[in-house]
């Protein structure tokens, strides 16, 4: 899928031209740019250069990016495609009605790369519509761009615009295998999301959501949970949506409202069955190794060769929780992937994936690994 992966520190505008020229060599069919949040990214100055490119160039701003197994808050990971790519841009997901361009998904599409703005409306509607239309022999992988500090800033770009609240989907004529895991453990009995407004959980079992959550977390942690200490504890105690096949889809609370509601980065269906889960560093790291194994086995089974590159879509909350042990996670991915597999990717505010045999999901606090040639 990716013929070339390059890194650029993003400091000097004049170096962008050299960087993009290098990526476009050897008849590249498209360029994806993963930009670290602290990169001095000036879209207005960069746009004229993007418009001179004769192939699709698109990208997003992420909390951090991964290149050659290392994390960067500042820098750009450039990914050149060796297979034909078709791009669909939705600038305002709040107005999305389920329609795509007729020629968007090309005949031999095998993978859909999906990048959304983290706080956009209708992300579940978008990914469910994509799955229903194009699920046959198609793998889905992607994540949510944006910042937990500057929530309203633009986070996605093409040669035409730099925008928030939307999505960019790339249909690629090449296969990428996918592994998905999180490693968190449930610590509560099932409960009902009894009142929800998109990404605001108002009540659990008809009790104010924060009061229910607070009681369970305090019992386990042995310390008081207040609005001031909320973020420190919440990263260890995500909520999980229990699916019909016993899979747990995580949602990480990011704040508490005056009405004692819990706010999440991603939407949650009303009447979902919920569990409160707990993170343990060793189990998160082991789960990353499992995801890498899943992706490698799936790739080798399909292509009959070993993978050469691994795209990591890693939840920011996992990296914040693991702190210095995040390197241990990258090391286990490298070990499970194989000596010659090049690791690159991003920290996201929501992960999107389907392995092809399971329904597409919008995840939190999860690691998704895609492997290609």
DSSP 8-state class, residue 236: T
For residues 148-158, average pLDDT: 91
Per-residue pLDDT reduced to its tens digit, 284-332: 999 999 999 999 999 999 999 999 999 999 999 999 999 999 999 999 9
d(CA 202, CA 196) in angstroms, rounded, equals 6
- The separation between CA 311 and the C-alpha centre of its own chain, rounded to angstroms, equals 11
**242 confidence band (pLDDT: 50, 70, 90):** very high
Per-residue pLDDT reduced to its tens digit, 58-116: 999 999 999 998 999 999 999 999 999 999 999 999 999 988 887 888 788 999 999 99
SS3 per-residue string spanning 66-80: EECCEEECCCEEEEE
Per-residue pLDDT reduced to its tens digit, 36-63: 999 999 999 999 999 999 999 999 999 9
Asked if residues 167 and 91 have their Cβ atoms less than 8 Å apart, the reply is no
**Which of 133-137, 337-341, 355-359 is predicted with the least confidence, judged by mean pLDDT?**
355-359
pLDDT score, position 135: 74
- The separation between CA 293 and the C-alpha centre of its own chain, rounded to angstroms, equals 19
Asked if residues 365 and 318 have their Cβ atoms less than 8 Å apart, the reply is yes
pLDDT score, position 112: 95
**In the chain, % of residues over pLDDT 90:** 82
| Domain positions in the chain | 2-182+283-372, 186-278
d(CA 343, CA 313) in angstroms, rounded, equals 11
For residues 248-267, average pLDDT: 91
d(CA 47, CA 221) in angstroms, rounded, equals 50
For residues 330-335, average pLDDT: 97
pLDDT score, position 356: 65
DSSP 8-state class, residue 95: G
Mean pLDDT over the full length of the chain: 93
Per-residue pLDDT reduced to its tens digit, 260-274: 999 998 889 999 999
Confidence (pTM): 0.94
d(CA 236, CA 277) in angstroms, rounded, equals 8
Per-residue pLDDT reduced to its tens digit, 171-191: 999 999 999 999 999 999 999
For residues 237-257, average pLDDT: 90
**Which of 86-95, 98-107, 148-157, 236-245 is predicted with the least confidence, judged by mean pLDDT?**
98-107
pLDDT score, position 9: 94
pLDDT score, position 363: 94
């Amino acid at each position: 899928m990716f013929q070339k992966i390059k890194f650029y520190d993003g400091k000097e505008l004049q170096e962008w031209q050299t960087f993009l020229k290098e990526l476009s060599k050897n008849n590249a069919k498209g360029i994806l740019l993963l930009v670290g949040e602290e990169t001095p990214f000036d879209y207005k100055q960069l746009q004229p250069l993007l418009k001179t490119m004769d192939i699709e160039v698109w990208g997003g701003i992420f909390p951090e990016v991964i290149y050659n197994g290392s994390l960067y808050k500042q820098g750009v990971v450039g990914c050149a495609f060796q297979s034909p790519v078709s791009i669909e841009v939705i600038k305002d997901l709040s107005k999305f009605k389920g329609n795509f361009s007729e020629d968007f998904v090309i005949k031999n599409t095998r993978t859909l790369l999906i990048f959304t703005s983290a706080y956009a409306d209708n992300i579940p509607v978008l990914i469910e519509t994509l799955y229903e239309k194009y699920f046959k022999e198609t793998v889905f992988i992607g994540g949510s761009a944006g910042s937990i500090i500057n929530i309203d800033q633009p986070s996605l770009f093409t040669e035409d615009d730099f925008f928030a609240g939307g999505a960019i989907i790339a249909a690629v004529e090449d296969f990428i295998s996918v592994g998905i895991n999180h490693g968190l453990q449930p610590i509560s009995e099932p409960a009902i999301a009894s009142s929800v407004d998109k990404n605001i959980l108002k009540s659990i079992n008809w009790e104010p959501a924060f009061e229910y959550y607070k009681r369970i977390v305090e019992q386990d942690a042995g310390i008081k949970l207040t609005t001031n200490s909320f973020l420190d504890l919440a990263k260890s105690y995500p909520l999980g949506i229990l699916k019909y096949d016993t899979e747990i889809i995580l949602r990480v609370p990011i704040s508490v409202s005056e009405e004692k509601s819990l706010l999440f980065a991603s939407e949650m269906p009303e009447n979902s069955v919920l569990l409160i889960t707990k993170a343990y560093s060793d189990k998160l790291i082991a789960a990353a190794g499992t995801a890498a194994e899943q992706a490698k086995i799936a790739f080798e089974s399909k292509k009959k060769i070993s993978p050469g590159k691994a795209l990591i879509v890693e939840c920011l909350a996992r990296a914040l929780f693991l702190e210095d042990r995040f390197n241990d996670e990258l090391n286990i991915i490298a070990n499970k992937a194989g000596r010659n597999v090049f690791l690159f990717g991003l920290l996201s505010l929501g992960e999107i994936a389907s392995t092809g045999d399971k329904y597409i999901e919008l995840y939190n606090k999860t690691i998704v690994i895609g492997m290609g040639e």
